[in-house]
Homo-oligomer: A and B are copies of this chain.
Amino acid sequence: MAPDHRGLTPRKQPRQARAEATRQRILTAAAHVFAEYGYAAGTTNRIAARARVSIGSLYQYYPNKDAILAELLIRHLDAGAAAVGERLDGQLPDSLEETIRLFVRTSIDNHLDDPQLLRVMAEQGPRTPELLDKVARHHRARVASVQALFERHPQVRVADTHVAARLAVATIELLAHQLLAAPDPVDVTRFENELVAMLTGYLTTER
Contact = CB atoms under 8 A, between A and B. Distances in A.
Contacts of A201: 198, 201-202, 205
Contact of A170 (B160, B178, B197): B178
A197 B158 CA distance: 11
A171 B123 CA distance: 18
A35 interface: no
Contacts of A21: none
Main secondary structure of the interface of A (DSSP, over half): helix
B164 A194 contact: yes
A84 interface: no
Given A175-B170, A190-B163, A202 B198 contact: yes
Given A124-B123, A202-B202, A195 B170 contact: no
A122 to B, nearest CB: 8
Contacts of A88: none
Contacts of A205: 197, 201, 205
A155 to B, nearest CB: 14
A199 to B, nearest CB: 8
Interface in A41-73: none
A167 B40 contact: no
B124 A198 contact: no
Given A163-B190, A170-B179, A198 B198 contact: yes
Contacts of A178: 170, 174
Contact of A175 (B136, B163, B171, B198): B171
Contacts of A160: 190
Given A124-B124, A178-B174, A198 B40 contact: no
A25 interface: no
Contacts of A197: 202, 205, 207
Most buried by B among A167, A179, A184: A167
The 3 A-B residue pairs with the shortest CB-CB distance in the complex, in nearest-first order: A198-B202, A123-B123, A174-B174
